[in-house]
Amino acid sequence: MVLAAGIFYMLKNDRLFKSISALCVAWFLIISTPLIPGLVLNSLEDRYVPIDVEKLADADAEYHIIILGGGHGFDDRLPANSLLSLNALGRLNEGIRLHKQLPNSKLVLSGYSSSGGTTQAEMLQKTALLLGLDKDATLIQTEPANTYQEGKIYSENFGSSHPLIIVTSAAHMPRAVQVFQHFGIEPIPSPANYRLKGNRKNTRFGLPSMRNISNLHAALSEYAAITRERFRR
């Protein structure tokens, strides 16, 4: 739209220039102020809340807690916890919280490596060990490259033999739940990494910011992926 406005300005078409300029300003305000990004993102993040372990029907069951991959980097100078993305670290923190309260549970750490180096699952496991977990309390699946594969490979390895808790980012959780349900598993969601919380959650008015644009982009990307998964089936 900005390019079109520039062309019409160069051609001295004032009416079209002003109309397109107004549309550009309106579009910018829609995507960069809190109202629309907040409504779209909340529609994903509000579907589930983190588990209150005391409300689980059987806290002594042998739960699997799967931590979906969230990204990592490589740097020989740094410990594993410093190489996880903030998304991955937040998911792992939530998984460890649950594991500490569910004595018979195991963490299932998931994700591949696009470069052929240390996989996401292995990096999550290394971090869990650094944070005090026993290796026997972890399982890894190093093959999945995306959410669909995480559900598929988990179902092939374990089926419904254990009650399953899924830990992933709050905006990503609706898609993750749908994928696992597609493979015949009814997971218990426990989301992490809320983008909107506290005073920001219900903010309707405010100045434009890149945070709002990022929130809208994240939410729309999830809805696009949910639609894509439906066509995949």
3-state helix, strand, coil in the chain (%, to 5): 55, 10, 35
CA distance 144 to 154: 9
Q: What tens digit of pLDDT does each residue of 68-120 get?
A: 999 999 988 999 999 999 999 999 999 999 999 999 999 999 999 988 889 99
Segments forming the whole domain that contains residue 191: 33-233
Residue 3 pLDDT > 50: no
pLDDT on residue 13: 55
Task: Tell me the two tokens of residue 167.
Answer: 């830990």
Number of domains composing the chain? 1
Helices (H) and strands (E) in the chain, counts: 9, 5
- Which amino acid does the sequence have at 139? L
Q: What is the mean pLDDT of residues 5-19?
A: 57
- Residue 4 resides in a domain: no
Any idea what the CATH number is for the domain that residue 50 is in? Answer: 3.40.50.620
pTM for the full predicted model:
0.87
- Residue 27 resides in a domain: no
Report the range of poorest mean pLDDT among 23-27, 51-55, 194-198, 228-232: 228-232
